[in-house]
Structure 1
């Protein structure tokens, strides 16, 4: 299979609402990544988080097996520190092999849930 993707991706519009409505964990407000690795090698991923008024945090390290997809909630990234809730942030995702990155958000802070899905911005 052809290897798809890029090694650097950016998501400038992160924001995880502080409150959620509905049953947890399926209706917990969240930002989420979908990472697709079509290569024959395991992908080593590093995520750096950028804030408006703080120094960047990271790297958050994870792996995506060869020829696999992996979903990651930003809410679950806790090492080196948890992502701040109800705070604007951006992220840069770097991989040692090309990957494809999709970003989604579930905002359940009100009874009228909203969701957003978009491709991340591909760098190199």
Structure 2
């Protein structure tokens, strides 16, 4: 199968809820990046996070193996630094292979859970 997707994805609506209800990690409020690599080669990604009132982050790096899906919680990105909770952010994902990406928010601040799926803006081959 030909690799599907694009090499750059942009998400402008990030904001990890500060609080959660229920047991961790299943009911932790979070933003989660969902990445799909349909191609035959591993995809090496860099993610840069942009903020309203601070400089962009250094790149976070993740790998998505060939013909696999990989989910990464933005809450779990801690190297080179943790992403602050409750702070609006934007995210640019670049990959050396075409991928498909979406951002999902799970909000458990109340007992009535909410999930939001945010498609990204794709750029590149």
TM-score with structure 1 setting the length: 0.97
Gaps of 5+ in 2: none
For 1:3, the equivalent position in structure 2 comes to 3
The 4+ residue runs of structure 1 with deviation greater than 4 A are: none
Q: What SS class does the counterpart of residue 58 from structure 1 fall into?
A: coil
1:70-109 equivalent positions in 2, closer than 5 A? 70-109=70-109
For 1:119, the equivalent position in structure 2 comes to 119
For 1:20, the equivalent position in structure 2 comes to 20
- What is the aligned residue count? 124
Output the CA distance in 1 between the equivalents of 2:23 and 2:17: 15
Give the drift of 1:118: 2.8
Output the CA distance in 1 between the equivalents of 2:16 and 2:61: 20
Output the CA distance in 1 between the equivalents of 2:48 and 2:76: 14
For 1:49, the equivalent position in structure 2 comes to 49
